[in-house]
Amino acid sequence: MNLKGFIAARSIRAGLLASAATMLVGFAGWAVSPAQAADPIKIGITTELATIPGKAIANGAELAADQINAAGGIDGRQIQLVIEDDHLSSTDAVSSFQRMVKEDHVVAVVGTFVSEVGLALEPWSARLHEPYLITGAAANQLSQFVHKDYARNKYIFHAYLPAAFLAQAVCDASHDILVNQFHMKTAVILSEDAAWTQPLDAGYQGCLPKAGLTVEKEIRFSPDTTDFTPIYQQLASLNPNVIIAGWAHVGVQPTVQWNTQHVPIALAGINAQAGSSQFWQATNGGTEGVITGNVAAPGVAITPKTLPFSDAYQKKFGYSPAYSAYTTYDAMYMLKDAIERAKSTNALPLVAALEKTDMVGTQGRLEFLGQSSQFTHALRYGPGYVTGVAIQWQSGQQKTIWPLNLANAKAEFPSFVKLPKMAAN
């Protein structure tokens, strides 16, 4: 059954319910099968619909719900999504979270790619005893919040990688590609000033030198910045081999200006918006040569589920999925699996079942870390689990360049990027 048939505007909900009640009275003598009589399982989606990562959350949830419903639902019950736009506002997000729990009676809430919003929602998840799966925000504090008071906060699951793990993935890719293949030696960290980049930059500072890149400088800028010319002029004076980025709220402006100003420094790290093919259009091709970390990528079979998902997503929405679409799609199937194993949608059995998650998703093998980890209820990172990929935009296409065993292309850079002499020869 198509998901769109389930999502009703709040403004007409009362009228629809009244009409339905009248019809039920009129047809009270009709027999109804158990499957028809079963109430839908409501799942709340909180996101920001006007951004690439935010829209990807809603899209990933919608595609998963469509597929699950078409296959018979969860134990015969259909999924009904309640999608709320948080407008990048913690206040709006809290209000909609409370509304979804108290009025819509959702069994769980999924979403959020902004760490500040996730951090604002976590206490409400604990107070309302509502399972909450965070699928796009990356701040270390999200899962550390669970670790600090597990008994109270156990309802929260960080169904994505903490910034510390993302930084390690960037360093691992940088070692294999930038250092080993292109002999790069120096880097500058350039990150938006946000909750998720504080631990990300700390992670970069710790692991980039171990990967073979000396950090010349760390620069943090306001997400409201529109002119990056002074920043790029400052970077050019330092003459590093590569910019290691931490961008999610921003992405278009610094990427376009890097390209149009022919900044002679390779651009890598995490440029979260660059994970979707929408970004090529948004930058008018300015993302050519940009390297970014992602959880998965089109055209690369990380697991048997990766390509079917990315192909179905492309077919349904007309563009490739951003990172948060993969994570949200996987989270929806984690919920399905947990509800079926728990044989319940009640919070405590559902939490206990989610903690025992061990399944293959689009990103890899999915398992949550336990209470002993400082990142309690975050996804496990490492070989055999989720490690992510590094993609590079080449001639308008996303090519996977790392890990090397999954790569479908070799890294290459625009002519205006100055490479170390050994790499250029």
Residues 120 and 247 in one domain: no
Residue 17 is predicted with a pLDDT of 37
Residue 112 is predicted with a pLDDT of 94
What is the amino acid identity at position 359? M
Q: Is residue 374 part of a domain?
A: no
Q: At 277, is the pLDDT very low, low, confident or very high (cuts 50, 70, 90)? A: confident
pLDDT exceeds cutoff 60 at 11 = no
Q: Is residue 372 part of a domain?
A: no
Which of 109, 75, 56 lies closest to 337 in space, CA to CA?
A: 75
Among 366, 381, 406, the domain-final residue is: 366
Residues 197 and 343 in one domain: no
What is the amino acid identity at position 218? E
Q: At 38, is the pLDDT very low, low, confident or very high (cuts 50, 70, 90)? A: confident
Write the CA distances from 41 to 27, 325, 339, 375, integer angstroms. Answer: 24, 21, 10, 29
Radius of gyration of the chain (CA): 22
| pLDDT above 90 coverage of the chain, percent | 86
Among 366, 387, 405, the domain-final residue is: 366
**Residue 103: other Cβ atoms inside 10 A:** 11
pLDDT exceeds cutoff 90 at 209 = yes
Q: What are phi and psi of 41, to 5 degrees?
A: -95, 115
Residues 153 and 182 in one domain: no
Q: At 63, is the pLDDT very low, low, confident or very high (cuts 50, 70, 90)? A: very high
Residues 133 and 44 in one domain: yes
Tell me what the pLDDT averaged over the chain comes to: 90
Which of 61, 152, 73, 220 lies closest to 376 in space, CA to CA?
A: 152
- 302-356 pLDDT per residue, tens: 999 999 999 999 999 999 999 999 999 999 999 999 999 999 999 999 999 999 9
Residues 232 and 338 in one domain: no
Q: Fill in the DSSP letter of residue 381.
A: B
Q: Is residue 375 part of a domain?
A: no
| Pairwise CA distance, residues 413 & 16, whole Å | 56
Residues 171 and 157 in one domain: no
Contacts of 76 (CB under 8 A, 6+ apart): 34, 35, 38
Residues 418 and 271 in one domain: yes
Residue 36 is predicted with a pLDDT of 42
Residues 98 and 133 in one domain: yes
**Mean pLDDT for the stretch of residues 233-257:** 95
| Pairwise CA distance, residues 301 & 330, whole Å | 15
Residues 307 and 218 in one domain: no
Residue 425 is predicted with a pLDDT of 43
pLDDT exceeds cutoff 80 at 299 = yes
Contacts of 136 (CB under 8 A, 6+ apart): 47, 53, 54, 56, 57, 111, 112, 113, 114, 160, 323, 324, 327, 328
pLDDT exceeds cutoff 80 at 111 = yes
Domain holding 238, by residue range, is 164-294+395-424
Q: At 423, is the pLDDT very low, low, confident or very high (cuts 50, 70, 90)? A: low
Residue 1 is predicted with a pLDDT of 45
- Greatest alpha-carbon span in the chain: 84
pLDDT exceeds cutoff 90 at 105 = yes
| Pairwise CA distance, residues 387 & 369, whole Å | 15
Q: Is residue 382 part of a domain?
A: no
What is the amino acid identity at position 220? R
Among 321, 349, 366, the domain-final residue is: 366
| Residue positions counted in the chain | 425
Residue 13 is predicted with a pLDDT of 39
| Pairwise CA distance, residues 87 & 55, whole Å | 11
DSSP-derived pairing of the beta strands 132-134 and 365-366: unpaired
On the question of a cis peptide bond just before residue 383, with omega within 30 degrees of 0, the verdict is no
Q: Is residue 389 part of a domain?
A: no
Contacts of 15 (CB under 8 A, 6+ apart): none
CATH of the domain at 55: 3.40.50.2300
Q: Is residue 385 part of a domain?
A: no
- 351-375 pLDDT per residue, tens: 999 999 999 999 999 999 999 999 9
Residue 276 is predicted with a pLDDT of 85
pLDDT exceeds cutoff 70 at 195 = yes
37: Cα within 13 Å, side-chain hemisphere:
7
Q: Which two tokens stand for residue 275?
A: 């994970």
Q: Is residue 379 part of a domain?
A: no
Q: Fill in the DSSP letter of residue 77.
A: B
Residues 71 and 174 in one domain: no
Q: Is residue 383 part of a domain?
A: no
Residue 46 is predicted with a pLDDT of 97
Paired residues of 82 in beta bridges: 44
Across 59-63, 271-275, 298-302, 393-397, which has the greatest mean pLDDT?
A: 59-63
Q: At 32, is the pLDDT very low, low, confident or very high (cuts 50, 70, 90)? A: very low
Task: Provide the number of structural domains found in the chain.
Answer: 2
Residue 298 is predicted with a pLDDT of 87
Residues 62 and 144 in one domain: yes
> Vertex 62, ends 60 and 67: CA angle to 5°?
100
| Pairwise CA distance, residues 406 & 307, whole Å | 13
Residues 81 and 212 in one domain: no
**Mean pLDDT for the stretch of residues 377-387:** 95
Contacts of 405 (CB under 8 A, 6+ apart): none
| Pairwise CA distance, residues 98 & 12, whole Å | 20
